[in-house]
Amino acid sequence: MNNIKKVGKQTIKLEFPPKIISAFSIVGPKEGEGPLKSYFDEILNDEMCGKESYEKAESDIMYNAIKGAIGRADLKEEDVDYLFAGDLLNQIISSSFAARELSIPFFGLYGACSTMSESLSLGALIMDGGFARHVVCSTSSHFCAAERQFRFPLEYGAQRSKTAQWTVTGSGAMVLGREGDFPEITYVTTGIVKDYGIKDPNNMGAAMAPAAVDTIYAHFKDTGREPEYYDVIATGDLGRVGTKICNNLMLEYGYDIRGNHIDCGDIIFNNETQKTESGGSGCGCSAAVSSGYLYKKIMRKEIKNFLLVSTGALMSTTSSLQGETIPGIAHAIAVEMKGDKLC
C-alpha cells in the first residue's frame, strides 16, 4: 500500500492540515530588552520566577506558556488530547515537571534546540491522522540552567568567544486545532542527523548549519517549491556565525535564501549592545520567536506563510568530555494562512 501523504524522501504533505489556533510566548528580562520585545506575551522581571533554582524556574516558565496558550484558545486542560514538549536539561525535567501539573497525556521529546519544530511536526501528524482534536506543543530553555549543565557555573566567569551564543530564557507554546481562520501546518520535513566534525561547544552555529541546509534543501526538492515561495524562512539557533554558513552552503546547492532568511537566534537579541556575541540559542529561542514574532506577523496578515526550521546540536556533557564531535539536526514545518492577501 502506497503512502499517499509522503512527498519525496523526507517530507509529508498533510491531508487534513491542523491549524495553529493559539500561541503564547514568555521570555526573560534580557530577551525582553531585545528587538522583538513587543511581540512577546509575557516578559519576566525575575528570571528565578520566585523559585528556589533556575531549573524550577524554567519548568514554571513552560507551565505558564502552556496554560497561556490553552487559555487563549478558550480551552480547558481536559479539551487537550496530547502535550508534546521538550527542553535541554537532563531527562527533560523542565517538561516532565511542567506536565505533572497538567492533566494532559504527555509525550516528552528531546531534539536539543530543534525540539519546537519536532513537537509541532509530531503534533501535526497526530492531528492529520485523526487521533486528536487538540494538541499542545511547547519547548523551553533557561540561560542559567543551560550554562551550568553544558558549560561552566556562572560564578566561574568564563570569557565568552565571538562564536558563542546566549541560551534564551523563555518558552513558547502553540495549540493545534481544526476550526477557525488560523494558519495551517501544511508540510512536515523531518531532518537527518549531520556531523561535519565540529567539536567546539562554543561554536554551535557551525555545528548546526549543515543540518539546517540539508533539511531546507530536502524540503525544496521534495515539495518542488523555491525559496521565494515563503515570505520568511526562519532557522532556529544558528546565530550570526551559523546563518552566514547556512546561506553560503545553500548557494552551493543552487538556492538563494538570503532575501527572506532570518534566524531566530540572530534577531532575538541586539548582539552588539546586549553582548550576546553570535546571538541566541536554546529550545526557547525558536519557540518564543515562532510563538511570538512569527505567529503575530502571520495573524496580522503581514506575512502569509513561513518555513520554521528549528536546529539542534545533539551533544551532551558526557559526549564532549569524551572528545566526541557535535552532530546536528533540523526539522521543518511549513505554516500557511490560506486564501489571504497581505495587508
Least confident of 111-115, 144-148, 335-339: 144-148
**Residue 166's pLDDT is what?**
73
Q: What is the mean pLDDT of residues 168-184?
A: 97
Q: Report yes or no on whether pTM surpasses 0.85.
A: yes
User: 3-class DSSP state for residue 302?
Assistant: coil
pLDDT for 263-272, tens place per residue? Answer: 999 999 998 8
Task: Say if residues 186 and 334 touch (Cβ distance below 8 Å).
Answer: yes
**Residue 48's pLDDT is what?**
86
Whether pLDDT at 122 is above 80 = yes
Whether pLDDT at 1 is above 50 = no
Candidates 136, 125, 309; CA nearest to 209 is 309
**Residue 311's pLDDT is what?**
96
> Helices (DSSP H) in 200-238: which residue ranges?
204-223
pLDDT for 190-210, tens place per residue? Answer: 999 999 998 887 788 899 999
Domains of the chain, each with CATH number or no CATH: 19-177 (3.40.47.40), 184-336 (3.40.47.40)
Whether pLDDT at 159 is above 90 = no
pLDDT tier at 162, thresholds 50, 70, 90: low
Task: Please state, as a whole number, how many other Cβ atoms lie within 10 Å of the Cβ of residue 312.
Answer: 33
**Residue 343's pLDDT is what?**
47
Whether pLDDT at 152 is above 70 = no
pLDDT for 30-44, tens place per residue? Answer: 999 999 999 999 999
pLDDT tier at 103, thresholds 50, 70, 90: very high
Q: Are strands 232-235 and 261-263 parallel, antiparallel or unpaired?
A: parallel
**Residue 281's pLDDT is what?**
87
Task: Say if residues 157 and 272 touch (Cβ distance below 8 Å).
Answer: no
Average pLDDT, the chain: 92
**Residue 160's pLDDT is what?**
59
Whether pLDDT at 161 is above 50 = yes
